[in-house]
Amino acid sequence: MLNDEIQGTPPLLLDAMLGRLARWLRLMGYDAAYIPDTDDREVVRQARAESRVILTRDRGLVRRRGITALLIDSQRLDDQIKEVQANIGPPPKPVTARCGVCNTPLKTLPRNSAQSRVPPYIWRTKDAFTECPGCRRVYWNGTHWSAIQGRLNGDE
Ligand SMILES: [Zn+2]
């Protein structure tokens, strides 16, 4: 359960044990910062500075004053995503996928521009590409994308 009331869908901050969840939430469109280091003070400092809700598996951290935090109980990714959707709400609208690596909102990449940047097989078989303006990673509608849509729709 969330330890405080929230309005709308806030930006999130995930701590060390939730890196995989952070990547999925970004691709789903959540603003999900991630701190791979376990120093609680740094997590709390960044959450306060950027008004982020902390997602953590650390019960002690959830009890800290002056922060809003959600304790993630499950070990399974699918269940963790459901916990986020149930307690935080859907991704902010309009839903814009974010880079799984650096959390930057993705931008459409014209198909012609993608040709030199993805494997030939991918370019021949996919028609929609997006690019991360932050780290220049190119994404395309692939199996991982279907999996994300399935998770969003509650399919298994
Ligand atoms: Zn990126």
Distance 106 CA to ligand 1 centre (A): 8
- Evaluate whether residue 3 is within a structural domain: no
Res 120: pLDDT: 94
Residue 27 and residue 83 in one domain: yes
Residue 95 lies in a domain: no
> Are both 22 and 80 inside the same structural domain?
yes
Q: Are residues 23 and 81 in the same domain?
A: yes
Do 25 and 82 belong to one domain?
Answer: yes
CA of 107 to the centre of ligand 1 (A): 11
Judge whether 99 lies within some domain: no
Residues in contact with 50: Cβ distance below 8 Å, sequence separation at least 6, in sequence order: 11, 13, 33
Please name the residue that has the structure tokens 């995989």. Answer: 20
Is residue 52 in a domain? yes
Q: Name the residue range of residue 112's domain.
A: 107-152
Q: Ligand 1 centroid to 136 CA: how many Å?
A: 6
Query: Structurally, how many domains does the chain consist of?
Result: 2
Q: Are residues 53 and 113 in the same domain?
A: no
The Å distance, Cα 135 to ligand 1 centre, comes to: 4
pLDDT at 141: 75
pLDDT at res. 156? 38
Residue 50 included in any domain: yes
Which ranges of 50-93 would DSSP assign to H, the alpha helix? 59-62, 77-88
pTM to 2 decimals? 0.84
Is residue 45, in this structure, part of any structural domain at all? Answer: yes
For residue 51, being part of any structural domain is answered with yes
Per-residue pLDDT of the chain (156 residues; tens, 9 = 90+): 576 666 678 999 999 889 999 999 999 999 999 998 778 899 999 999 999 999 999 999 999 988 999 999 999 999 999 999 999 999 988 889 999 999 999 999 999 999 999 999 999 999 889 999 999 999 987 656 655 655 555 543
What pLDDT shows up at residue 1?
58
Residue 112 resides in a domain: yes
